[in-house]
Amino acid sequence: MRIIVSGGGTGGHIYPALALIKRLQQRRLIEEVLYVGTQTGLEQKIIKQEQIPFKALKLQGFQRKLSWHNVETVKLFVQSIHQAKKIITDFRPDVVVGTGGYVCSAIVTAAHFKKVPTLIHEQNSIAGLTNKFLGHFVDKIAYAFENVTTQFSEKNKLVFTGNPRAQEVNALKPNERLRDFGLDPQEKTIMIFGGSRGAKPINQAVIDSLPSFSQMNYQLLFVTGQAHFAAVQKQLTQPLSDRIKVVPYIDDMPSVLPDLTLIVGRSGATSIAELTSLGIPAIFIPSPYVTHDHQTKNAQALVDQKAALMIPETQLTAQTLVQTVSQVMGDSHLLQELSDNARQLGVDDASDRLIQVLLDLIQNNK
């Protein structure tokens, strides 16, 4: 299979794409792969680190108001389609996959014009603007949340696959990675983090909660985010319990997950895919700053299935944080219920499901 993959802007678009590529490589189904993104986006750094061939297009996202910026956006999009057509002509892909973000708009559109089979993958419960646009042109629309299907009019194109990231982490086992942080892997442990960049409201609530957490009979791993670590350190004027560790960031975050009892954090699509695959109980604090508040919708989908709890950021205080964590950690039946229900929502073969759709598209195009 010769495949072009594109997606970017956030890790939520990039890591599923990377998981798909890795699974194709494991199954020895790739003859050649090319990743298309932007030179300034997060994707170019991550993909190049993985030593996957990468080409850049010059694109930018729309602003949600009338502006000259949007005129320039359309101009760049049209110019990029011409460049994308040349990439497709030179590379000769069997299929083109877009995993979201404006970065994939030109290459997927160009593939449609060149009559190359196309697929987009929507990880969230609220479809992104680019995927809504591309849904009119692509051959298949893969999704992870059932309620997103109402947002696409092309019902015959929809196929449920789950998030490829879920299959990537599903095989992980407890590995005592907590020792790296001076914690005991055999003890109950909660991790609180605000995503890869951290989140100031979550950090402040945790800082204010530390006196209470120091009295609990479990360990706490507090991940501040690199940008916030120094500021958090300045506020920690009292010595911490040996059962509480504060770190700026965790490399290879998934490797820590199997040793955790409970996670408190944001509800991005990648995080949810990882947690449900491993059956890890969660308390979500959705980011209210993302487009269409999709993290709240993501979290609510799990709350409705009794697979997680949620604290809206507007209600987040030291008191609500400690109360909610104590509610879960103090009730072994609730912990087990959340774990069981989360695992039922996990899709252990998401990458293989997506690969089968791609193989069918290629076969039908012959």
12 has binding-site annotation: yes
Nearest to 212 by CA among 64, 350, 324, 357: 324
Round to whole Å and give the CA distance between 178 and 182: 7
Nearest to 269 by CA among 247, 284, 249: 284
- Name the amino acid, one letter, at 347: V
11 has binding-site annotation: yes
**Which residues, 6 or more positions from 314, have their beta carbon under 8 angstroms from its beta carbon?**
288
Round to whole Å and give the CA distance between 328 and 262: 8
Nearest to 15 by CA among 166, 180, 195, 202: 166
Q: Which of 85-112 are b and which e, b meaning 16 or more Cβ less than 10 Å from the residue's Cβ?
A: bebbeebebbbbbbbbbbbbbbbbbbbb
How do 2-6 and 118-122 pair as beta strands?
unpaired
196 has binding-site annotation: yes
Query: Token pair for residue 107?
Result: 């290459």
103 touches 8 (CB < 8 A): yes
10 has binding-site annotation: yes
Round to whole Å and give the CA distance between 172 and 197: 24
Query: Which residues belong to the annotated binding site for UDP-N-acetyl-alpha-D-glucosamine?
Result: 10-12, 124, 196, 250, 295
Query: Which residues belong to the annotated binding site?
Result: 10-12, 124, 196, 250, 295
